[in-house]
Amino acid sequence: MPLTPRMVWSPGKATTARLASRLAALAAAALVVFLLARVDAVAAGISACGGAAVWALLRGRSPSRPRRVATGLVIGATAVAVIAALGLPAYRGAPPPLVVAHEPRLLTSTATADAGAVARPATPGLEALGFVSTDNEDSWAGVDRDAAGLSTLAATGIVLGHHGGSIEVTPEADVLVRSHLNGTRALAVVSNYDGTNFDPGRAAAMMHDPGSRRRFVSAVTSQVARQGWDGVVLDLESLPPSLRTLYPEVLSDLRAALGGRTLMVTVPATGDADLGAYDLASLSGIADRIVWMAYDQHDPTGPPGPVAGLPWVRQSLMAAEAAIPRDKLLLGVAGYGYAWTAPGHGADLTVPEARALADQPGSVARWDDTQQEWAVHVADGRQVYFDDARSVAARAQLASTEGLGGIALWRVGSEDPATLASLPIQVRKDAPLPVSRRVQEVQASGVAALTFDDGPNPTWTPQILRVLRAEHVPATFFVIGKEAERFPSLVRDEIANGDVVGNHTYSHPQLTASTPRWRTRLEILGDEAVIEGVTGRKPVLFRSPYGGGDMSARGLGTDQRATNLGMHVVSWNVDSADWLRPGIGAVEMKVLGAPPGRAVILLHDGGGDRAQTVAALPAIIDGLRARGYTFTTVDGLDGSVTSPYAVRRTVGDQARAIGIMAAYRLQLALRHDGVAVLWIVIALSLARIIASGVLAVVHWRRGSATSRRVPLATPAMPSVSVIVPAHNEARVIDKTITAIRRLRVAPSEVIVVDDGSTDATAEIARARGATVLSQRRQGKAVALDAGVARSTGEIVVVLDADTVLRNDFLDALLPHFADPRVGAVAGNVKVGNRRGLLGRLQALEY
């Protein structure tokens, strides 16, 4: 029976094909979820919910589609958030208290305190100020020892920045908290120190420009108010005389901005009447106190001599007293020494270090009654001068006799430990001051924080965690990002164990001051992203690889760059040297030899064979406990750290954290299964190629048989209409029609539907003998409809105007219509022009 000239379509077959494709997609999705579940159940749940939400978004159009899509997305996002939140490792909710240790005889209460812990009324007397250089390792011990005996602690940490009016801040709120706990005021020192020398250029850039001056005042007061400092010590040194009139103006602006907070100014002591940049009368009229730095009579750059000989101190004090009211004057006293190998070649010494040199065999130590200092000739030829408790007492007596406001000690931690107990003056103490940090006082000789670097490691980290759990000791783990990616479950185990996780860079490179800023930033933020993705928490604590952070006011070192990114840098003051693998006993001795006080202990759980660390850890914990230590994490030891993780205060911040964690765990699981998926894809591709080859052979054999069964060019051959829709195809239409005319089985008619062409398409087609139907531009679909309606053939061939047919085209396709089940046949299209990239891509697609 002849076929009608229309396409034959089977609804049953199409429905089956759609169902099969949907089942295949569902099977593929289920396979992906199954593979993810083998790695991370949370990631599998996230992918399932996310896939369902995407499916809802991509479903067909309907009147209710917007509502359905919105509902699906909300449900999917909620499910993802719930699954991600359930996958977060549990961690203590409230920030830990600051653990403050007291010897049993000094402890008045073991209760948790939210304010000052020393209930002592204010007492009259002279002010005793102590400077704390926060980048020195002995500062913690000095603050713990001296805070209760001083009136004021002044901590370094704010320096002038490179840009006019800017400041660089090293967070050192620990001094502030411990000062207030002991009824001691806390001041922030603002200086122009660049890490090596005092930089007059930074000070000049700030003072000369009114805008820079305003930015400086605003930045300092904002920092002081935000952290709760009781005031500021302005320590600008090596200033040129040209700043003499500008310095009081800056001081006046700062005085007004600080309001009721204390403002002090340091002035280098000199016996000269001309003090250059320092107009004492103007400065003292604005500041609450002037610190007369009566030390460094001799320094490492010159010949050996007294650090602050008493006659020189008296002489320099005369210049100060001539311009400064005595009750505003604090006499600077030295709590350190110098050792010279030769003139101009000196080095700093703490008083304990100087005493150790004096006690060496062959050393000759002499007390100078005139200078009120110690002079030491060491056996190796070095000359040492230092001021001990007796020296400081002599200068404190001078301050009292002269009616001065008090003394200022440089520096807390380096001085003779007996200094404050030896003072011949009564030290003024204020009433207790509140602290914002929750505090827990404990009976202990010290507080220890165990820290582990370079993990996680699948061999050593689990063993260390088992020891910590058994001993009920928390620890702080500084993890490497790429290792955390490999072993995310270990990082979550650390959190679940009650430990703290910190940033140790992504790949643990040797970062120095010469490392490009972008590399340092990438390493820090990369590790931060990994930790946040694995745990849902953004770390605040940071430790530089190899301890090479180079914390300095220059802003060049890794530590300062980390600080600028909002991190809190954590160093250590007890090195176990376990990375050298010196033996289990040597590791134990290194740690247990730590002096009483606060101890941040460096250990390792990765980066090599840590069997000695694991073996030594129980003895280290037992030994420290026997010495009266209690244990906490770094954030419980350092008052500068209120929380080891960034606090998320808004719903948006929390949603962002869950989103990061969900996306990260999903991609981590996908990466983990990447190799398996790749092999599956390769196997399926090979199977498809083999199956396609077999089916092609079968198809060819059937086609050959069909061709043999249906002879061509017989009277029963059906008529064929060729329809060519065309729009502005004058360039190719001639070649197309010529190819049609060369077919071995000639079609009964060739119809060209001109779809609104503006060129010579219709004219060329007529010239080649084709029937031309012209219409206004309505598109290919309407043109095809018009051509089919006009056609008279039993078989309709549709092709584009740029398609060239082989002469055996109809020979190959017509025999298939002998089967009444066949309603349409598609030919194999080949791209002819493959010279351009687009043509090659089209050829690959076909």
Measure CA 603 to chain center: 23
Distance CA 324, CA 715 (A): 128
Contact yes or no for 605/452 (Cβ under 8 A): yes
Q: Provide the β-strand partners of residue 330.
A: 291, 406
Q: Residue 432 — left, alpha, or beta (φ > 0 → left; ψ -120 to 50 → alpha)?
A: beta
Give the chain's radius of gyration (CA, Å). Answer: 42
Which alpha helices (DSSP H) does 118-264 contain, by range? 139-146, 173-181, 200-208, 210-227, 246-258
Distance CA 641, CA 566 (A): 12
Torsion of Cα atoms, 519 then 521 then 524 then 530, to 10°: -90
Buried b (16+ CB within 10 A) or exposed e, 183-212: bbbbbbbbbbbbbeebbbebbbbbbeeeeb
Distance CA 508, CA 480 (A): 6
Contact yes or no for 412/130 (Cβ under 8 A): yes
Distance CA 668, CA 169 (A): 36
As annotated, the active-site residues are 453, 604
Torsion of Cα atoms, 464 then 465 then 468 then 471, to 10°: -100
Residue type, 344: G
Omega of the bond leading into 456 within 30 degrees of 0 (cis): yes
List the one residue out of 557, 516, 541, 568 whose CA is nearest residue 173. 568
Structure tokens, 44: 């599998």
Structure tokens, 193: 């120190």
Distance CA 759, CA 778 (A): 16
Distance CA 372, CA 387 (A): 8
Distance CA 547, CA 525 (A): 18
Distance CA 245, CA 773 (A): 96
Contact yes or no for 80/48 (Cβ under 8 A): no
Distance CA 303, CA 697 (A): 100
Nearest-5° Cα angle at 366, 363 to 371: 140
Contact yes or no for 627/599 (Cβ under 8 A): no
Distance CA 461, CA 479 (A): 11
Q: Give SS3 for 210.
A: helix
Torsion of Cα atoms, 485 then 489 then 494 then 495, to 10°: 90
Burial group, residue 281, by CB count within 10 angstroms (0-12, 13-18, 19+)? exposed
List the one residue out of 389, 422, 449 whose CA is nearest residue 597. 449
Structure tokens, 479: 């993890």
* 787-to-774, 779, 783 alpha-carbon distances in Å: 10, 13, 6
Per DSSP, the residues of 297-340 read SS-TTS----SS-HHHHHHHHHHHHHHS-GGGEEEEEE-EEEEE
Q: How many CA atoms lie within 13 A of 816 on its CB side?
A: 16
